[in-house]
Amino acid sequence: MEYPIGTLFKTRGKAPRLCEVTDIYKTYNAQGLLVKTRYVAQHDFMEQKVTDYDVVATTIAMGLVPMPVES
């Protein structure tokens, strides 16, 4: 499953952070087959944006934040 840009998730650990997917990096081999998918995510830390360029899909899956339902 591919997570779209704008997906919100929380990191795991003692001090979880609310992150947002900002980009998707895909690596292809010489035959054109998809080899690896990594996500770029950002979170705020002391009023600055911190970017992680190597987030795997399982990290996002474990920390998905439910989106509010509009009625």
- Per residue of the chain (71 residues), give pLDDT as tens: 789 999 999 999 899 999 999 999 999 999 999 999 999 999 999 999 999 999 999 999 999 977 666 76
End-to-end CA distance of the chain: 27
- Sequence-distant (≥ 6) Cβ neighbours of residue 9 within 8 angstroms: 18, 19, 21, 41, 59, 60, 62, 63, 64, 65
CA distance 68 to 49: 24
The secondary structure of the chain in percent helix, strand, coil, rounded to multiples of 5, reads 10, 50, 40
The pTM of this model reads 0.83
